[in-house]
Amino acid sequence: MDILQPEILIPFFAILLVVAFLYASVGHGGASGYLALMALFSFPIIVMKPTALLLNVFVSGISFWFFRKNHHFNWKLFYPFAVTSIPMAFLGGYLSINASLYKQILGVFLALAILRMLTVFGKEISDIKNSNVIGSLFIGSAIGLFSGMIGIGGGIILSPIIILLSWGTMKQAAAVSALFIFVNSISGIIGFTVKGGNIPIEAWYFIPVAIIGGSLGALYGSQKFNMKTLKYVLAGVLTIAMVKLFLV
């Protein structure tokens, strides 16, 4: 299949724009959404992981800049996660896993992304507590490994954990997750390329669209966010992709 055919690129770009916008608005790079979208369009597995990581770098970097600019970033909350996640993301990027297992693991993470989009978990509470360094180190290592393995940054898991443990507000969780995704995605790409993997040429065509969507989403989300209809639509797209991954 030629991914760069207009009949594929046009609808893909349209959905990619929305995915990048919505994910960046909550401090995420969007990898789970990009992977779901590529699964829907039957992209080869070899293209999916590096493409998602590359797009993650750009969108999460933009998202972090906007959230930090609006004074939502907490360094003390961030660094314990990153200390262990960065080397583990490199290891995950270096590892190669069976295509069937890859689809199953991705399907599980998409289920988590769907629940997050529908705010089933990760609802903000007012009583904020100090984070636990040991717990953060463990959480960072676990998320980092899976992030590198399947091509996500890990923010879709980290942000609800921060909220559930009352370690930060929603916007603080978004800012921390954005930088967490950024560093993990770079580490994952390095591990992937060290192993001998290559960034597919198709990925570079997707970057401008992701940057536009991510910039608009981060600008809007760092100030306010209430777009339930679009979130439900995206949750529907993710659900279709998840079912396809488990059945095909």
Q: What is the pLDDT of residues 221-248, one digit of tens each?
A: 777 655 566 566 667 767 776 777 676 5
In a domain, 161, yes or no: yes
Is the pLDDT assigned to residue 209 strictly greater than 90? yes
Give the Cα separation of 175 and 122 in Å (integer).
Answer: 15
In a domain, 1, yes or no: no
In a domain, 32, yes or no: yes
In a domain, 81, yes or no: yes
Calculated CA dihedral for residues 77, 212, 121, 107, nearest 10 degrees: -110
Q: What is the number of structural domains in the chain?
A: 1
pLDDT value, residue 217:
87
pLDDT tens for 169-199 read 888 888 899 999 999 999 999 999 998 888 8
* Percent of the chain clearing pLDDT 90 (strictly above): 34
In a domain, 28, yes or no: yes
Please identify which residue in the block is written with the tokens 């059945």.
247
The structure's pTM equals 0.83
Calculated CA dihedral for residues 51, 52, 57, 62, nearest 10 degrees: 120
Q: Treating both helix axes as pointing N-terminal to C-terminal, what angle do 45-69 and 201-221 enclose, rounded to 10 degrees?
A: 30
Domain that holds residue 132: 6-247
In a domain, 76, yes or no: yes
Cα–Cα nearest to 80, from 35, 141, 122, 148: 141
At 137, the pLDDT band (50, 70, 90 cuts) reads: very high
At 3, the pLDDT band (50, 70, 90 cuts) reads: low
pLDDT value, residue 156:
79
Cα–Cα nearest to 117, from 17, 25, 212: 25
Cα–Cα nearest to 158, from 172, 233, 6: 172
pLDDT value, residue 87:
95
In a domain, 13, yes or no: yes
pLDDT tens for 74-129 read 999 999 999 999 999 999 989 877 777 777 777 777 787 777 667 665 565 667 88
Cα–Cα nearest to 162, from 117, 113, 114, 128: 128
